[in-house]
């Protein structure tokens, strides 16, 4: 449980109906402060993209040509703390993209070396190369990572 969860539980204990106490004074101000905090929490939840998930529902007999639908499903407030948020998803996406970039850079370096060898007739060690087709095939073969 986070400090935030504990704070919100305490705020819920303070809830009351301002109509019983009148619309002015400290009680009304406290009620308004609680409502303002709730609105801010909701805004933050929306920003973190933890208020809903998109569920895939497959259609047995699609009438629109699509064999699936995306259904927006609200996440109950009490379950939001355990939901993967938009920041975590973004970080995972960045990590996958960085891995792809590293693989592409490795492939590019391999291709550059092979093309240089084909163009010059010499390998990276400066030795004469008579087999450009084999070099080209090796350069075009998939890298170990992808």
What does the domain layout of the chain look like in residue ranges?
1-48, 51-82, 88-140
Cα–Cα distances in Å, from 18 out to 24, 33, 34, 38?
Answer: 9, 12, 12, 16
Quick check: 40 and 8 in contact, CB under 8 A? no
Lowest mean pLDDT segment, chosen from 1-5, 25-29, 64-68, 106-110: 1-5
> What pLDDT digit, counting tens, does each position of 46-57 carry?
998 899 988 898
From 136, 72, 143, 138, select the one nearest 105 (Cα to Cα).
Answer: 143
Q: Which helix (H) or strand (E) holds 74?
A: strand 68-74
Q: What is the pTM of this model?
A: 0.50
Cα 81–53–10 angle (5° rounding)?
25
């Amino acid at each position: 449980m986070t400090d935030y969860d504990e704070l919100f539980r305490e705020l819920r204990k303070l809830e009351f109906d301002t109509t019983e106490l009148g619309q002015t004074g400290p009680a009304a101000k406290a009620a308004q402060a609680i409502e303002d905090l709730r609105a801010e929490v909701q805004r933050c939840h929306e920003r973190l993209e933890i208020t809903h998930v998109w569920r895939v529902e497959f259609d047995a007999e699609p009438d629109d040509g699509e064999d699936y639908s995306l259904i927006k499903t609200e996440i109950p407030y009490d379950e939001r703390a355990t939901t993967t948020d938009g920041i975590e998803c973004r970080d995972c996406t960045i990590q996958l993209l960085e891995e792809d970039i590293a693989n592409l850079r490795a492939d590019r370096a391999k291709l550059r070396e092979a093309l240089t060898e084909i163009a010059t007739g010499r390998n990276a060690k400066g030795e004469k190369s008579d087999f450009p087709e084999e070099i080209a095939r090796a350069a075009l073969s998939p890298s170990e990572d992808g």
